[in-house]
Amino acid sequence: MGHILLTINPLNDIGNPLTLTSTKEIIPSFPIQKVVQEALRQQGDTGYPQAIILSGCSGSGKTYTSMLVLKQLFELAGGGMETDAFKHLTASVTVIRSLGTARTASNRESSRIGHFIEVQVTDGTVYRTKVHCYFLDQTRVVRTRPDESNYHIFYQMLAGLTAEEREKLHLGDHSVETLRYLKSFPRLQEDAEDAKRFFDWKAALGVLGIPYLDVVRVLAAVILLGNVQFVESSSCLDVDVEGEKELQAAASLLGVSEAALRQGLTTRTHNARNQLVRSRHDCEEGEQSQEIMLHVWNAQLGFSGFARIKLSQHASTVGTAGSRASKSMTALNNAVRHATDGFIGILDMFGFEDVKPSHLEHLCINLCAETMQHFYNTHIFKACIESCRDEGIHCDWEVDYVDNVPCIDLISSLRTGLLSMLDVECSVRGTVESYTQKVRTQHKQNPRLLETKSSDLRSFAIQHYTSKVQYDATDFLDTNRDVVADDLVAVFHKHRCSFGFASHLFSSELKILGAGGMEPSPRGISFRISPTSHSELLNGDEPVSTLTQDFHTRLDNLLRTLVHAKPHFIRCIKINNNEQPDLFDRHTVSKQLRAFQVLETVNLMAYGYPHRMRFKAFNARYRSLALFHQLSRTDDRAIEDCQVILECFENSIDGCTRERLGHISISWAVGKRHIFLSEGARQQLEALRTITQNRAATLIQSTWRGWRCRRRWPIVRQGYHMRFQQMPPPVPPPNAVASNAAQ
């Protein structure tokens, strides 16, 4: 569709599709190569940041396509796949994918982590890379649907650990079938494939400098704690534990005593009028505390890995990691770093999901998908309409598209949006029923908020740009608060915990507990489960921000980055919902094409003015189409030069070209500040520019070669003459000599 690429996922089996390693033997298609070349060209010509934005529903192949784009970018500007920078980035992607990939109902290799890979390019060469990760699906580690799996890393670890490592990690007698958090879904691949992926993941950790044994200790403790359950005690004053062996093993792996871990899971400290009161959990509260603890470990482990990846990426781009650099080299690196404002970003965010029932994480994921669709609408449709109107350009074809701003406002409006109302309900310690009732009252006239067929008052539905999605708000408040009690955090202070990696993960929280020189002990305060930049506490005992506030802030920051970049869109399509290879389902594909407004985009490209260029930029790119003496080449006569170039372009279009294009418009218009072009006109301009440049290059080469031959000819002729003179006289044949003697 013009400069917008539409890709189809054939759902073929290509091994591990979410890593750069899987793309080594794949030859990127010409359209992907063209997108990368155009981004590199525009970044080199203007120094302006570029963003390659991939969008599509879950399972449409966004992540794999982003790997192909990244590989092509390194081949064109990064020195190829054998460079240290590419190997470092490959290791980063491998670690991220194993930690954040799981099987869902619609995608067997669903990436639960969105990423924005920022590639700094200077003078057409890759300088450094940054990986920004967006992680939402934290509850999966303890709650998986019957038709979904836990994160792949757990299955790969069980298949790839050696017998000695399994014994050290207390996993010798365990398998997928005996672990509660993994047995809900059978093993995804054969053990050999899982073991191979685990070996690659282990090697990637070594490249990034992340301690392998420390990470697997935490992962093993997480799945072992899943087998611990709380039951009512006969004394009614305490709770008993089923799975004492697993509790002891988890405590040993985390470097704490079993008693300390049990106390952290079964007690809660409250601050009542500056008096500390400690209460005992019942069975349900113990289970909740256990799940929260595992959420914390999963989030902290992922955050630590991502932070290490960022540090490693940053260090590997300037000099050698770990080497001692001189002051002059440091100053030079800093100067170069500040000079590389232009970058090429590759954005692969969450795909739209319709899970039954959907929860708060899915609402945030779908908000992200709605935002990316709105960004596309704004850049492709709205900007075209407003630019033509502002500069007095009349277009025979009226741009018509569906705007999804009402849905975004329903979810994220500052005061009345669903997420803002959820934050208010969390602050007043409300209930789910009161929250859903307030939502229905506030938005009863909003056509985007729909009632559900069920009688459950805790559910509601939203009409998204793709389809209607029903949400279950039962866990909305707890998920949004995203807090962990300090009783669990205090267990891992270095005085009580011999596992330095664990104490390091909670260093900021433990620092707050030990403020003022006090002993780091529970004081009735709460911390965020997900690591956040807001470490302050509200009223001294609660986190300032919530899960949705942090996500919304990061999404806004991402949009600010994209607004200042030139976007290149890749729209990914899934051919069916059953993951059957090469089976084209018409209904599934048509639904995605309508949601992406592909037909509206095609009509805009064919009959509208989707492209606009400043006069100076137009002259700089297409001035070779006119004769040299026809152009003034001055800024004050830029419009006249543009008109001369367009006249030459019009004269070059013959009848055969017009007949071949058919109904496709090759029109243009001159505005107040821009030249407006249809897609057909842009393509013909580019084709004519290529022909003109090739013709000029051929003429230059032939002229230079002729001049070079003429200049060298006297020397060559003299050499031939000297060789001819030095040659001995020809010797007559023997028969001729005998004949002469006889005569």
- Per-residue pLDDT tens digits for 103-161: 888 888 888 888 899 998 887 788 888 888 888 887 888 888 888 888 999 999 999 99
pLDDT at 740 over 70: no
Is the per-residue pLDDT at 226 higher than 70? yes
pLDDT of residue 330: 46
CA–CA–CA angle 432, 437, 442 (5° rounding): 125
Confidence of residue 585 (pLDDT cuts 50, 70, 90): very high
- Sequence-distant (6+) residues with CB within 8 A of 154 are 179, 181, 182, 219, 222, 223
Predicted confidence band at 374 (pLDDT cuts at 50, 70, 90)? very high
pLDDT at residue 557 above 80? yes
Global pTM value: 0.86
Is the predicted pLDDT of residue 484 greater than 50, yes or no?
yes
Which CATH code, of 1.20.58.530, 3.50.50.60, 1.20.1250.20, 3.30.43.10, is assigned to 371-480?
Answer: 1.20.58.530
User: Mind listing the pLDDT tens digit for each residue in 163-181?
Assistant: 999 999 999 889 888 998 8
pLDDT range class, residue 654, cuts 50, 70, 90 = confident
Given a cut of 60, whether residue 638 has pLDDT beyond it is yes
Task: Mean pLDDT check: name the lowest of 59-63, 115-119, 133-137, 686-690.
Answer: 133-137
- Give the separation between CA 562 and CA 555, rounded to whole angstroms: 11
Q: What angle do CA 287, 291, 295 make, to 5 degrees?
A: 170
pLDDT tens digit string along 263-313? 888 888 888 877 888 888 777 777 778 777 777 777 776 655 555 454 444
Q: If you count DSSP H runs as helices and E runs as strands, how many of each does the chain have, helices first?
A: 28, 22
pLDDT attached to residue 320: 30
pLDDT digit string, tens, across residues 94-103 = 888 888 888 8
Give the residue ranges of the annotated binding site for ATP.
56-63
Dist CA 157 CA 195 (whole Å): 7
Where residue 439 falls among pLDDT bands split at 50, 70, 90? Answer: very high
CA neighbor of 49 nearest in space, from 563, 536, 669, 485: 563
- % of residues, the chain, pLDDT over 70: 88
Lowest mean pLDDT among 44-53, 332-341, 712-721: 332-341
- All CATH 1.20.58.530 domain ranges of the chain, comma separated, are 371-480
Within a 10 A sphere around the Cβ of 248, how many other Cβ atoms?
Answer: 17
Phi, psi (rounded to 5 degrees) for 724: -70, -40
Nearest CA to 85 out of 316, 310, 305 is that of 316
Confidence check: pLDDT of 658 > 50: yes
Summary mean pLDDT of the chain:
84
- Residue 583 is given by DSSP the state -
Binding-site residues sit at: 56-63
9 DSSP β-pair partners: 574
Tens of pLDDT, residue by residue over 19-29, are 777 777 777 78
Residue 640: the pLDDT is 92
> What confidence tens digit (pLDDT) does each residue in 724-735 have?
777 777 777 776
Q: For residues 524 and 334, give the distance between their C-alpha atoms in angstroms, rounded to a whole number.
A: 45
**Token reading at 10:** 């054939």
Euclidean distance between CA atoms 297 and 316, whole angstroms: 28
DSSP 8-state symbol, 379: I
Q: Please determine, for residue 540, whether its predicted confidence score (pLDDT) is greater than 70.
A: no
Which residues have a Cβ under 8 Å from the Cβ of 596 and sit 6 or more positions away? 55, 373, 376, 571
Q: For helices 638-652 and 615-622, what crossing angle results, to 10°?
A: 50
Over residues 592-620, mean pLDDT: 91
